Structure 1
Amino acid sequence: MSLSLNRRAGEILDRMSEQVEALGISVSTLTNGARLVDFGVKAPGGLLAGKGLAEICLGGLGEVSFLPLHYGDVSLTGVSVAIDGPVLPCLGSQYAGWKIHRGKFFAMGSGPARALARTEELFETIRIQDTADSAVLVLESGRLPTEEVADYVAEKCGVKSDRVSLAVASTRSVAGAVQIAARSVETAMHKLLELDFDVTKALSGFGVCPIATPAADDMVAIGRTNDCVLYGSEVFLTISAADTEIETLIDKIPSCSSRDYGQLFGELFKRYDGDFYKIDPFLFSPAKITITNAVSGRTYRAGRFNAELLQSSLLG
């Protein structure tokens, strides 16, 4: 592709690296020359750091903003994301599908480096790849990665180690919570993919999601960030397809269609002994979905918010 996700993400990271004090981030160079940017492990980070991190995850192809969200009597800080041609930025970059496990370090990798490494089966379906001499990977982790991690990423991406940038934030950090909340459209797109819909028919996406309140540890934060998506996010997609295609899918997209819907994610996680893969994969979806067909002009809606669970999770 002529439009490089990694180059665009690298440009955002370059600009942010010149504003470390204002953004509450830290930038360092590992012994192998790789760039390490701490958005929320030891560095404090914040809302604006999280906004930049989310836009890096999208390969520079999405706009992220803040807004208040209201669920009955409950008001929460929220994130909106606007995306055109969502397959490339959402599934080709933002989706956290690359397992990074080197030594004692483990994290799920997202961002445009995935489109260079192409280690996931997903890329055989969406047929996306990037061409760049540098790689930008976003890691959700409570610890900072080592040179071994950077060397591994460089090898898989086909670039030199000193051309790797690793952006890291813990789940419980403010920046980490923001970048997760900015995944509303991505969750809808991935759900469509799981339902065997031709995702290349998606023309644009807009989504909103509340930002999880800070947590004392990452396990609590995992519960809160997932609750925000499952019970408080809303996505609007414009697609070009036959009405019958949408009619057969619309009720299957929102989280309430899952057998595991209806309890706090942290409690659900414990019920399955901390094994994500035992949880119904169809649960990971926005709370509400609206799809407008650009061909027929018809609009379809499904799903619902759950203010009670949101309040219990974030404000309890």
Structure 2
Amino acid sequence: MTSTLNARAAQIVETMIAGAEDRRIASHEVDGGGLFLDCGIKARGGLRAGLDLARVCLGGLAEVTIPMGEIDGRAVPLVQVWTDHPVRACLASQYAGWAISEGKYFAMGSGPMRAVRGKEPVFDAIGFREESETVVGVLETRKAPPPEVVAKIAHECGVEPWNVTLVAAPTASLAGGFQITARSVETALHKLAELKFDLGRIVSAHGTAPLPPIARDDLAAIGRTNDAILYGARVVLHVTGDDESLQEIGPRVPSSASRDFGEPFAAIFARYNNDFYAVDPHLFSPAEVAFQNLDTGRTHVFGAPRPEIVARSFWG
């Protein structure tokens, strides 16, 4: 791969800006330097914006599509992701591992800017960081980033503020909900990283998750987007190595391995007074994970979707 994650993401951003009207998005220059793309805060955004947002999150190293699926007898769009570079696309870029806080401003940060900052423990685990004079990031937020936030991101990444591009959408928006639902593979890989699985064995990956209807507010949207992954996502990982280790670790990977599994996320979240850190961290993974062993030809499947819980979350 000759292009960096940030360079690939920047190319996608250029396409977004050129087609801003079609995507119903807006670009704004930030005072003091930097560029901000609104994909759902004041701008309407939509599915095309969400698809591009997900591709930016993945550093341009994954394909994202929207086939039609079904949940409990109802037609539902699926967010489908596949990649031949899953560790870099998902863990070095897509994972929302940067909690950006400055004054009263807060946003969850993802995208390839994280690989340049490189301060999260996951980068030691995967043995990858990136150097780039320009950075691109994705923010899950309902507020446009002020100049001081852009300046902080620039400082953390070792770049000038005018070389920072941020693409943002709130959870309760078409584009924002889409990019979160595109995290089926990422949640599987993050769970495997937490379980100390050898990530070098993962060659390619494919995942789907049902796209939730937009919720009335961001808190309700957090419930629906989590349920899309925890109870609706299905992931296939193409791996190498022995089968015994897959049989041993497999039951611990899907969301069903968690003590909190079994009811809509909104109910779980409320039980913990809306404290993410109180929720069992083992919950955050796909409903079903399959390992296809490229060396032995065997497939190992763990977990299963729970469409009745997804239906209750989406339409109950």
Q: Does TM, normalized by the shorter one, top 0.5? A: yes
Deviation readout 1:240-296 (Å, 9 max, x if unpaired): 121111010111111111100001101111100111111111100101111111111
* Residue identity opposite 2:26 in structure 1: S
Identify the range of structure 1 (156-165 vs 123-132) with the bigger mean alpha-carbon deviation.
123-132
1: CA distance between counterparts of 2:151 and 2:242? 46
Question: How big is the shift at 1:212?
Answer: 1.3
Question: How big is the shift at 1:32?
Answer: 1.3
Deviation readout 1:169-188 (Å, 9 max, x if unpaired): 00000001111111100011
Aligned length: 316
User: Corresponding residue for 2:117?
Assistant: 117
1: CA distance between counterparts of 2:143 and 2:159? 24
Native 8 Å contact 2:62 2:85 kept in 1: no
SS of the residue corresponding to residue 40 of structure 1 reads coil
2: CA distance between counterparts of 1:217 and 1:67? 26
User: Corresponding residue for 1:87?
Assistant: 87
Native 8 Å contact 1:255 1:286 kept in 2: yes
Native 8 Å contact 1:71 1:305 kept in 2: no
Moved over 6 A (4+): none
User: Corresponding residue for 1:162?
Assistant: 162
User: Corresponding residue for 1:16?
Assistant: 16
Unaligned runs of 5+ in 1: none
User: Corresponding residue for 2:40?
Assistant: 40
Superposition pairs for residues 1-316 of structure 1, below 5 Å? Answer: 2-316=2-316
Question: How big is the shift at 1:235?
Answer: 0.3
Question: How big is the shift at 1:121?
Answer: 1.4
2: CA distance between counterparts of 1:201 and 1:212? 32
Native 8 Å contact 2:110 2:139 kept in 1: yes
Question: How big is the shift at 1:2?
Answer: 4.3
Native 8 Å contact 2:207 2:236 kept in 1: yes
Identify the range of structure 1 (159-168 vs 116-125) with the bigger mean alpha-carbon deviation.
116-125
Native 8 Å contact 1:74 1:307 kept in 2: no
1: CA distance between counterparts of 2:84 and 2:213? 29
Unaligned runs of 5+ in 2: none
* Residue identity opposite 2:274 in structure 1: G
Deviation readout 1:14-46 (Å, 9 max, x if unpaired): 111011110010001011120000011111100
Question: How big is the shift at 1:96?
Answer: 0.3
Native 8 Å contact 2:23 2:46 kept in 1: yes
Question: How big is the shift at 1:119?
Answer: 2.0
1: CA distance between counterparts of 2:256 and 2:68? 23
* Residue identity opposite 2:143 in structure 1: R
2: CA distance between counterparts of 1:40 and 1:198? 38
* Residue identity opposite 1:129 in structure 2: R
1: CA distance between counterparts of 2:301 and 2:79? 21
* Residue identity opposite 1:35 in structure 2: L
Native 8 Å contact 1:254 1:288 kept in 2: yes
Percent of residue pairs identical: 43
What is the Cα-based RMSD across aligned positions, in Å?
1.0
Native 8 Å contact 1:98 1:119 kept in 2: no
**Normalised TM-score (structure 2):** 0.98
2: CA distance between counterparts of 1:241 and 1:38? 44
SS of the residue corresponding to residue 223 of structure 2 reads helix
**Normalised TM-score (structure 1):** 0.98
2: CA distance between counterparts of 1:2 and 1:124? 22
Identify the range of structure 1 (49-58 vs 287-296) with the bigger mean alpha-carbon deviation.
287-296
